[in-house]
Structure 1
């Protein structure tokens, strides 16, 4: 601990000697801090390289082509062509991706629209199922069936197989000329006379905001039939009010009749029992037709062949009233009619003109009615069927029906001006095979009572 300095001893501090030596060891805090800084620096370098900024992202300058290079102009032209081709390929790729995204968006919107349309159709089907009863249930439960026909074209609304099945079962029925206020009085009387040559028939008009016409006569006929049916059965197990069922195609006023009956509380004073829900007659055709367009306001776009539908309707129309209503010149055939109507409304082509005139008819903008069908060779069969149908009603009901048919048409029908007269439409076929198995038994009363008990 002592040194010899200048011939004498000097004391040395050992602590100072040790501290004068510097070590490479560092604290863990500094070590971890340095490592963290290095990581951050490397991360920033990688980020700059991706973004193309800083030294890492700086592109090297193209040194170009020396002036002494052989064929320099050709090489420059080739490079320019390559750059233009590359830019064109990039633009095409961008356009393709844009079109692909647009197509995917359209497909997604179409799928959403189809889903909404399917949901709407399901809701409509559920509402219809809740508003209507199956045909065989109504026919089994009812003691008398009202078949409603549109007064504009009752021949197209008839269902002769259904009427024949009712006659075979011995179940009385009435043909009701509904919407009698939508046609002129002469046309309504002619249609009623034609219907009464085939079955007992009555007119009916239920205008909105006005008292119903023909309802009192209908109720009087039903009460007379109910009294005659209850007479011999008063002591039997089947005694009770006459159950009345309503059937018909769409748009003939089935539910409107039931609403008016319920609103006026005219249920026959206990003699009549109206079934709560009517039955729909549905066509066997897989697609919509002319009857759906004219009578049920089906959308024109739903018809499979618009041009053929236009031709079939034009063939049925009286030429002069049609020209006066549409304000077009005379035409030779259906194609000429479509071309003239396209020129009048400014349609782009024949398909657009056909859809336009079909929409005009579907919306009911043209007042029209059909003439009664021409008598054919089967007049004897029709007379026999009419006699059999009249025999199913009692004498009192027939007397009320014959006396009230003509009187109920006065003052309710539309004016005769402006109507276009069509020939009678073809009736549509419905499937009765299932219904006949269920309600076509010999004892129709027992089948009706069983079906009614199951429904309750």
Structure 2
């Protein structure tokens, strides 16, 4: 017990407690001695008997032993002295280096930082991204074009599809993010796209953990399955994709691994699809656009590899709303997130934005971003509003997997100029189309779709032109992008008390 006005508590204990402790110690030691005696273990060191007096040449043996002992001590002293000399030389060299170059580490750090920045600039350049995309196309036997289900037509690249057909590669459409569009709309897009090439419905998981951090999988019951359907961790369509590639590899009778390249515009979910099929975090993925900068091959199944690729570089001549919806100019570094959000706000109706984000009337995009930042709590030091962070969150809603919007497929969709009936038949050859259709129906049954009244409907601007050849980068002339007018119709449903937004980019 610590007594008052004393820094340390007293170590004194009562006699009864002290005697009890001593008794316990004696009993413990007695137990250890008893166990050691049973095992035949003795702690007593064996006594050195030395050289007996009756042994012949006793003096010579003792003299040799003494010489050996002295020799061992000399070797120990030599080793100690060598270590001391080595440390002294090391200190001397450090002092000489410090006098010659007072800041060698700082200079080396500056050089490394400059080289790192140069490599980052090279990886962000159009020349590097196009070369990496061409590598994926050349190395792959099958090309999967990943499309965002909210705007599949706007995610298609005619230049890419034409190049794939010219190289006699198999082309498949993968309709990702089907959980962000109404079920009827997803079914219509599947029917529309399957006229040109095989199409798969897919819903990637956005909560794949790293393999080193992945915990043991818990036993899944039917009730847990129903709960997981509404979560981002659920994935649908991965078994269909694996079975399809396995059956194609078996039917083709090829030697070596089958390489399947995933291509598409940024933020359509290429890396998330690979992570969902693999089951672990094999590729970096996130809300930020353009995370993948180079080609990456991932082993999925026996003799089947998926190849991740960077996003397709879009032409500046594309309409401004299409570029702003996908943040293509932001990821290329041609404009800031604030400029992209301003462009998108100028092409949106005030009423739509006010109802969607529950903000009062505003006069310009900057005022909207100011109110949006205050509502979300994006404040800097001193209570200053952070409009850059608000613009980033606004773009993340439209380009990420949060906001639900959809576009209607065309009623009459003729084949593109670079496709013919013969090329379509060749692309469908070797695939089990009935099996694909059945698997898509099963995927649509499992996914939880949003209410059509809460999904924004807009008219797509058509395919987005992209750059594939490196020579086109230098031949491309800077074009002035004129903002396209937008007409939005808002209707209120009395049953669901929700709003329908019809956005028409003219």
3-state DSSP of counterpart to 1:246: strand
1:134 positional shift: 0.7
Q: Tell me what 1:206 maps to.
A: 204
Q: Tell me what 1:167 maps to.
A: 165
Kept in 2: contact 1:173–1:389 (CA 8 A)? no
Matched pairs, number: 301
* Aligned residue runs from structure 1 range 13-412, under 5 A: 123=120, 126=123, 134-209=132-207, 210-230=233-253, 239-263=255-279, 269-275=301-307, 277-285=308-316, 289-296=320-327, 298=330, 301-302=336-337, 308-312=343-347, 314=348, 324-327=355-358, 361-364=394-397, 367-375=403-411, 379=414, 381=416, 385=420, 388-412=423-447
Kept in 1: contact 2:200–2:436 (CA 8 A)? yes
Q: 1: distance between equivalents of 2:178 and 2:310?
A: 21
CA offsets per residue over residues 189-225 of structure 1, 9 Å max, x none?
2332232233211111122343421011112221222
1:174 positional shift: 0.6
* Aligned residue runs from structure 1 range 431-446, under 5 A: 431-434=467-470
TM-score, with structure 1 as normaliser: 0.53
Q: 1: distance between equivalents of 2:404 and 2:234?
A: 24
Q: Tell me what 1:67 maps to.
A: none
1:355 positional shift: 8.3
RMSD: 4.6
CA offsets per residue over residues 282-340 of structure 1, 9 Å max, x none?
1122899544543359588446576554333x27xxx986563244799xxxx978699
Q: Tell me what 1:423 maps to.
A: 459
Name the structure, 1 or 2, with higher relative contact order (CA <8 Å, separation 6+). Answer: 1
Q: Tell me what 2:210 maps to.
A: none
1:139 positional shift: 0.8
**Unmatched segments (≥5 aa) in structure 2:** 1-112, 208-232, 283-297, 375-384, 473-506
Q: Cα distance 1:400–1:131, how it changes in 2: closer, same or farther (>3 A)? A: farther
Q: Tell me what 1:8 maps to.
A: none
Moved more, 134-143 or 289-298: 289-298
Q: Tell me what 2:495 maps to.
A: none
Q: 1: distance between equivalents of 2:137 and 2:367?
A: 49
1:161 positional shift: 2.2
Moved more, 408-417 or 248-257: 408-417
Q: Cα distance 1:374–1:358, how it changes in 2: closer, same or farther (>3 A)? A: farther
Q: Cα distance 1:126–1:391, how it changes in 2: closer, same or farther (>3 A)? A: closer
**Unmatched segments (≥5 aa) in structure 1:** 1-115, 234-238, 437-456
Q: Tell me what 1:14 maps to.
A: none
Q: 2: distance between equivalents of 1:117 and 1:155?
A: 41
Q: 2: distance between equivalents of 1:396 and 1:163?
A: 18
Kept in 2: contact 1:146–1:173 (CA 8 A)? yes
TM-score, with structure 2 as normaliser: 0.48
1:396 positional shift: 4.2
Kept in 2: contact 1:149–1:176 (CA 8 A)? yes
3-state DSSP of counterpart to 2:206: coil
Kept in 1: contact 2:136–2:261 (CA 8 A)? yes
1:384 positional shift: 5.8
3-state DSSP of counterpart to 1:154: coil
Q: Tell me what 1:451 maps to.
A: none
Q: Cα distance 1:208–1:248, how it changes in 2: closer, same or farther (>3 A)? A: same
1:226 positional shift: 1.4
Kept in 1: contact 2:156–2:463 (CA 8 A)? yes
Kept in 2: contact 1:147–1:176 (CA 8 A)? yes
Q: 2: distance between equivalents of 1:338 and 1:131?
A: 33
3-state DSSP of counterpart to 2:445: coil
